[in-house]
Chains A and B, each alone.
Chain A
Amino acid sequence: MGDQILTTVDWARAQFALTAMYHWIFVPLTLGLSFLIAFFESIYVKTGNEEWKKLTKFWMTIFGINFAIGVATGIIMEFEFGTNWSNYSWMVGDIFGAPLAIEGIFAFFIEATFFAVMFFGWQRASKGFHLFSTWMVAVGSNLSAVWILVANGWMQYPAGMAFNPDKARFEMQNFWEVALSPVAVHKFTHTTSSAFLLASLFVVGVSALFLLQKRHQKMAKRSMVVAAVFGFIASIFVAFTGDEAAFNVAHRQPMKLAAMEGLFVGQEKAPIIAMGIINPNKKAGDNLPAFYQETKIPGLLSLLAYRDFNSFVPGVNDLVFGNTERNIIGAEQRMVTGKIAVAELTRYKLAKKSGDETAAASALAIFNQHKGDLGYGYLISPTQAVPPVAATFYSFHIMVVLGTMFPLIFLLVLYFAFKGTIENQRWLNLICLFSIFLGYVAQQAGWVVAEVGRQPWAIQGLLPVNVANTNIATSNVQITFFIFLAIFTALLLAEIRIILKQIKTGPEA
């Protein structure tokens, strides 16, 4: 693998990150706002109060804008798979191809049917059926996120499959192991609940803007209370699922956990770094300090990872070079096994070509013994198994700090709303408004932790990104990178402009 290919990989990764991150600006608001609208409309149907209907219609318009701008932005990732990531795409096609297609068709029919009733049916459908349609949009939108998150979970923890060397692809052996793997389940619950949190922040923030501007105050306060209750419950759920996700990371992606906490030397009673400045020059195996400054909470990482304050948490060095005392096999040793797997796969391929079935069977038997570390066979140095520590560490800490702050904001909103003085709390309304931006920062930081933290793997331990990608000219990927940057930025600006216009118009529209 020369520099040329590495450069192509870097651009392909940057392009995928750009697409996924822009896509994830639109999606969480759709997922969360759909439920908030269902709550608003349920209150309207229950009380018969027309003001709740007006409020529901206002947020529905915002939802419609966000949905329209964001729709189909995810399809571009599918194009990228076929062009930039053809090896990966081929290898996982058996596992994800059909479910993703079915999900797409299912989402289309839900959207075509119930979206239409939700937006066009106020005068034509009964109150009950209209409400049912709104709930179906909420459920359908969230269900349409299931399989793509299961796919992401599988890439982090490839379960329920077997590698077929004749077809060079992973084949599904057990659907339920894939769909209900703990990583997939927590990926879905953590991601969707964080989307509910973001949408709650959005509604609270826009309502706070109305209060600051002394417009539509009654509607704003009503929206705020419902969103703050939903947001608070979602925040608690996000914390719970986040803790479960970290537990899974500790067991299935220990290198990611080590990077999340900048832990280079494994230890018992491992601390969480409450605050810290990473030493950017620190590398696996050297004697440099990992941090310039840090504030530790002893034992908390051990508790998070293994539910025991005293447990040993492996660090980057243990996972790269191994630790015989602790029975940890490092990347260095896995590379030896991985290279045997690659060599035997080559021998199998050649034996099959020459029609030597005995040699093919022998090669396959040895390959099967070593295939668990196949991906390590493509590494040149064991330190390549280390993800970018600083990016993972800072993203994780930004996400956690913000995730801790949001429920407090919701509690303050509820406190002052029930006290009847929320409109007088200028400082809190300003915080709420700014928290919309912070909500998006937390969302993006979460994806950086999940995706940067699992580098260099496209599929954990089995396929590194530099083998997963297509050997195409770097310039092709560079050109489309900048085209996407322009398109997505234009879409985002259009969204912001139309939403701001709608907010300025208010619920009277």
Chain B
Amino acid sequence: MSLLPKQLYLFYRDGFRSMVVGRTLWKIIAIKLFVIFAVLKFFLFPNYLNKNFNTEHERAGHVLENLTKAP
């Protein structure tokens, strides 16, 4: 490993090792990111237009359809 990447690696490694409250916080961040991206985004929050339409033209057509519905 050349000097700069090694220094950077050691900087982050030692920093993470010396954390006290940070360990708990990283666990919270990891759980939160897992829940947000792996559960919520994947199962509960699909992008409606991307999921139901294949092209930009179709998506635009769908939105235009909604904009021209009688209220």
Contact = CB atoms under 8 A, between A and B. Distances in A.
A120 B11 contact: yes
A389 interface: no
Nearest to B56: A167
Interface of B is mostly: helix
Contacts of A320: none
Interface string B45-63: 1111110000010011101
A86 B48 contact: yes
A332 to B, nearest CB: 15
Contact of A71 (B29, B40, B41, B46): B29
Contact of A76 (B26, B36, B50, B67): B36
B67 A467 contact: yes
A349 B46 contact: no
Contacts of B18: 120
A182 B36 CA distance: 35
Given A86-B48, A479-B44, A509-B20, A68 B28 contact: yes
B14 A120 contact: yes
B15 A119 contact: yes
A429 interface: no
Contacts of A167: 56, 60
Interface residues of A, number: 51
Interface string A345-384: 1100100000000000000000000000000011110000
B67 A480 contact: no
A121 B12 CA distance: 9
A98 interface: no
Contacts of A76: 36, 40
Interface stretch (A77-85, A240-248, A287-295, A416-424): A77-85
Contacts of B26: 68
Nearest to A379: B71
Given A166-B60, A168-B63, A480 B44 contact: yes
Nearest to B59: A90
Contacts of B66: 87, 467, 471
Interface of A is mostly: helix
Interface in B16-54: 16, 18, 20-22, 24-26, 28-29, 32-33, 35-36, 40-41, 44-50
B68 interface: yes
Nearest to A335: B71
A323 interface: no
B25 A65 contact: yes
A197 B63 CA distance: 42
Contacts, number: 113
Nearest to B41: A79
Contacts of A487: 32, 35
B64 interface: yes
Interface in A75-133: 75-76, 79-80, 82-83, 86-87, 89-91, 116, 119-121, 124
Contacts of A345: 64, 67-68
Nearest to B26: A68
A10 B12 CA distance: 46
A169 interface: yes
Interface string A30-65: 000000000000000000000000000000010011
A400 interface: no
A202 to B, nearest CB: 17
B60 A68 contact: no
Contacts of A480: 40, 44-45
A69 interface: yes
Nearest to A80: B45
Contact of B63 (A91, A121, A377): A91
A64 B63 contact: no
A483 interface: yes
B25 A346 contact: no
Contact of B50 (A82, A124, A380): A82
Contacts of B11: 116, 120-121, 124
Contacts of A83: 44-48
Contacts of B60: 90, 166-169
A91 B16 CA distance: 43
A64 B50 contact: no
27 contacts: A1-B71, A61-B21, A64-B25, A65-B21, A68-B22, A68-B29, A71-B32, A75-B36, A76-B36, A76-B40, A79-B41, A79-B45, A82-B49, A86-B49, A90-B49, A120-B12, A167-B60, A168-B61, A168-B63, A168-B64, A169-B63, A342-B68, A379-B71, A467-B66, A487-B35, A498-B25, A502-B21
Interface of A: 1, 61, 64-65, 68-69, 71-72, 75-76, 79-80, 82-83, 86-87, 89-91, 116, 119-121, 124, 165-169, 342, 345-346, 349, 377-380, 467, 470-472, 476, 479-480, 483, 487, 491, 494, 498, 502, 509
Given A167-B56, A169-B60, A479-B44, 4 more contacts: A80-B45, A90-B49, A119-B22, A491-B32
In order of increasing CB-CB distance, the 8 nearest A-B pairs are A120-B15, A82-B47, A68-B25, A79-B45, A86-B48, A346-B68, A168-B64, A168-B63
